[in-house]
């Protein structure tokens, strides 16, 4: 079971030595995290490496050398932890999986050289391309999708476009360098270009129309040749090469030949980590961005700019409500209060400060005391913001207390998500409850309770919630070894999550009414946020 206690040390050492383990590595927005699981899928060890995106020439990006520094450091820390804890060197694993933040634009020439700096999902500079694609193809193309980035580069006649040979996501890039194979899991691929749920490949009709639009500007550019191969969960996606092993472990201890599962996006691995891949299941992933994934029983009746249509790692259609801004502003305030504590001679670890601030929110007034906050570090398409300016606003009669302040900040992280989820409700999409995971839920009972109020449904958190997508990625790698032909939803239900302990929190009526009041204030104040983006260039 996923949440059983770790087996005896001798048993774990044997599993490590015999490579009866699976390793998942996820490159998130602020952390690269590694998770090693044993034969019972329980986490044996985890490690992480902190990194941060950079805003360079008005583009959100990460240098690729930081990718490899982070991956090798996270692996080294994991290996050290395994050897110290179990007395066994981590020189081999049974299977390996890579996951990363979805979408964006990594463009390479025929020699494999990066043509322009990595453009992450956080960029909102592709509005014209996304709008034209949505109108022409009758399918919502968000600004962060790879196809939108590609077409915007075409429209802007960027000099690198004639040299294009391959475009991919961050997970696809890492997988390519580890195995030599240009492939993507279907969930991640569906955030590059629409996927046909019947064929589990790029939608042929849309791809043909997209090709015509591109050819009007660049007749020699064949879009189909630029995209990665699409694979579904459980398919063999290649083996760790000798060069790839050295990228992960420059010491040379890690052996090549490890099988890899299809590389996936963080949305897909979050679905796996929360057992949310069957129809009418849903999950919330809360990190630097925050998004909801709801597996559909039938197609939506209309195209909605607030809702992306992607797939599970097995290829089932999913409605995705993606908000560009999540926990980053909360992290910023936690650092500030941590500095204050240090200045008063009461320095505390970051987790302690974060927990104290979160727990204070539970004592706040249900509506946040009339306070208003926007967590927009970057643009937010759901509310029509091309750029973001974090704001905290209050009226003269608002009650400014720490408890109200923190409740308003946490509400702010969930407000845009709530707006998007209402669109799904209007479409008749029913979700009885949602699983939640991510670092926001490390402090038990706080974000979970306030999210239930924001969405109006029970919120479920499992024991691996804070492990998030890295654990989900390891489970996908394990599925490659042990799936035995069972479909992914059945495998998760009967093997991984059978008997797993979960915590369920239903909406509190007072909290729900308070959040509704806050959300009315939030909508009314969007003009203030818009004015701030204009005034503070």
Mean pLDDT for the stretch of residues 43-69: 95
What is the tens place of the pLDDT at every residue in 466-524? 567 899 999 999 999 998 778 999 999 999 988 777 889 999 999 999 999 999 999 99
Q: Which residues lie below 8 Å from residue 422, measured CB to CB, with a gap of 6+?
A: none
Whole-angstrom Cα distance, residue 266 to residue 287?
Answer: 10
Contacts for 389-395: CB closer than 8 Å, 24+ residues apart: 389/529, 389/532, 389/533, 389/536, 390/329, 390/332, 391/528, 391/529, 391/532, 393/525, 393/528, 394/370, 395/370
pLDDT of residue 4 exceeding 60: no
Beta bridge partners of 168: 106
What is the tens place of the pLDDT at every residue in 220-275? 899 999 999 999 999 999 999 999 999 999 999 999 999 999 999 998 998 998 89
Q: Which residues lie below 8 Å from residue 354, measured CB to CB, with a gap of 6+?
A: 331, 334, 442, 443
Mean pLDDT for the stretch of residues 45-53: 95
Mean pLDDT for the stretch of residues 178-193: 98
Length of the chain: 537
CATH number of the domain located at residue range(s) 328-419+522-535 in this protein: 3.30.420.40
Residue listed under structure tokens 């990190």: 287
Mean pLDDT for the stretch of residues 129-151: 96
- Residue 14 structure tokens: 């044997």
* pLDDT given at position 465: 53
Phi, psi of 383 (to 5 degrees): -105, 10
pLDDT of residue 139 exceeding 70: yes
pLDDT of residue 178 exceeding 70: yes
Mean pLDDT for the stretch of residues 202-225: 96
Quote the mean pLDDT of the chain.
93
pLDDT of residue 277 exceeding 90: yes
* pLDDT given at position 3: 43
Mean pLDDT for the stretch of residues 277-294: 88
* pLDDT given at position 209: 98
Whole-angstrom Cα distance, residue 110 to residue 67?
Answer: 21
Mean pLDDT for the stretch of residues 385-407: 96
Task: Indicate whether this model's pTM tops 0.95.
Answer: no
Domain range list for the chain: 328-419+522-535
pLDDT > 70 in the chain, percent: 97
Whole-angstrom Cα distance, residue 406 to residue 393?
Answer: 13
Task: Say how many Å lie between the first and final Cα of the chain, rounded.
Answer: 52
Q: What's CA 450's distance to the chain center, in Å? A: 21
Strands 434-437 and 459-462: parallel
Mean pLDDT for the stretch of residues 272-291: 88
pLDDT of residue 157 exceeding 70: yes
Torsion angle (degrees, nearest 10) of CA 272, 275, 281, 285: -50
Mean pLDDT for the stretch of residues 358-369: 97
* pLDDT given at position 5: 44
Mean pLDDT for the stretch of residues 184-209: 97
What is the tens place of the pLDDT at every residue in 7-21? 566 689 999 999 999
User: What is the pLDDT confidence band of residue 2, given thresholds at 50, 70 and 90?
Assistant: very low
Mean pLDDT for the stretch of residues 100-109: 97
Q: What angle do CA 428, 275, 438 make, to 5 degrees?
A: 95
What is the tens place of the pLDDT at every residue in 26-36? 999 889 999 99
Other beta carbons within 10 angstroms of residue 499's beta carbon come to 8
Beta bridge partners of 61: 54
Whole-angstrom Cα distance, residue 203 to residue 197?
Answer: 8
What angle separates helix 328-343 from helix 402-426, to the nearest 10 degrees? 170
* pLDDT given at position 441: 86
Per DSSP, helices labelled H in 302-373 are 328-343, 350-361
């Amino acid at each position: 079971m996923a949440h059983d206690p770790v087996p005896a040390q001798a048993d774990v050492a044997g599993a490590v030595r015999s490579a009866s383990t699976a390793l998942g590595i996820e490159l998130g927005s602020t952390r690269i995290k590694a998770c090693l699981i044993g034969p019972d899928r329980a986490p044996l060890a985890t490690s992480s490496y902190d990194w941060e995106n950079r805003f360079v020439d008005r583009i959100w990006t990460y240098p690729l050398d930081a990718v490899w520094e982070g991956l090798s450091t996270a692996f080294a820390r994991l290996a050290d932890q395994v050897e110290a804890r179990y007395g066994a060197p981590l020189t081999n694993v049974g299977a390996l999986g890579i996951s990363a933040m979805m979408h964006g634009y990594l463009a390479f020439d025929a020699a494999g050289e990066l043509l322009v700096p990595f453009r992450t999902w956080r960029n909102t500079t592709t509005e014209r391309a996304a709008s034209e694609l949505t109108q022409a193809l009758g399918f919502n193309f968000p600004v962060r999708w790879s196809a939108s980035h590609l077409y915007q580069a075409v429209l802007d006649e960027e000099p690198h476009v004639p040299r294009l040979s391959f475009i991919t996501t961050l997970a696809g890039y890492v997988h390519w360098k580890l195995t030599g194979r240009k492939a993507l899991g279907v969930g991640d691929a569906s955030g590059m270009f629409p996927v046909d749920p019947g064929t589990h490949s790029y939608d042929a009709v849309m791809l043909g129309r997209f090709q015509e639009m591109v050819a009007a500007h660049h007749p020699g550019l064949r879009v189909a040749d630029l995209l990665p191969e699409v694979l579904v969960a459980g398919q063999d996606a290649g083996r760790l090469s000798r060069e790839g092993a050295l990228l992960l472990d420059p010491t040379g201890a890690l052996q090549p030949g490890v099988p890899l599962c299809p590389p996936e996006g963080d949305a897909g691995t979050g679905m796996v980590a929360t057992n949310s891949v069957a129809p009418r299941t849903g999950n919330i992933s809360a990190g630097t961005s925050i998004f909801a994934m709801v597996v559909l029983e039938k197609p939506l009746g209309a195209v909605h700019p607030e809702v992306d249509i992607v797939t599970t790692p097995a290829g089932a259609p999913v409605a995705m409500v993606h908000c560009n801004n999540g926990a980053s502003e909360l992290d910023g305030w936690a650092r500030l209060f941590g500095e204050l504590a240090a200045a008063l001679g009461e320095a505390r670890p970051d987790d302690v400060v974060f927990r104290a601030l979160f727990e204070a929110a539970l004592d706040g007034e249900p509506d946040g005391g009339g306070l208003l906050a926007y967590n927009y570090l970057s643009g937010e398409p759901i509310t029509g913001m091309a750029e973001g300016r974090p704001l905290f606003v209050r009226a003269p009669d608002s009650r400014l207390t720490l408890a109200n302040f923190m409740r308003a900040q946490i509400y702010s992280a969930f407000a845009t998500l709530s707006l998007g989820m209402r669109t799904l409700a209007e479409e008749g999409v029913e979700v009885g409850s949602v699983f939640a995971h991510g670092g926001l839920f490390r402090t038990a009972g706080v974000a979970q309770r306030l999210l239930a109020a924001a969405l109006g449904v029970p919120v479920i958190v499992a024991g691996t919630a804070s492990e998030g997508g890295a654990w989900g990625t390891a489970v996908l790698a394990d599925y490659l070894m042990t799936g035995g032909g069972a479909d992914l939803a059945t495998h998760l239900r009967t093997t991984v999550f059978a008997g797993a302990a979960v915590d369920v929190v239903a909406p509190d009526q007072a909290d729900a009414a308070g959040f509704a009041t806050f959300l009315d204030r939030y909508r009314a104040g969007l003009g203030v946020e818009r004015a701030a983006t204009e005034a503070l260039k």
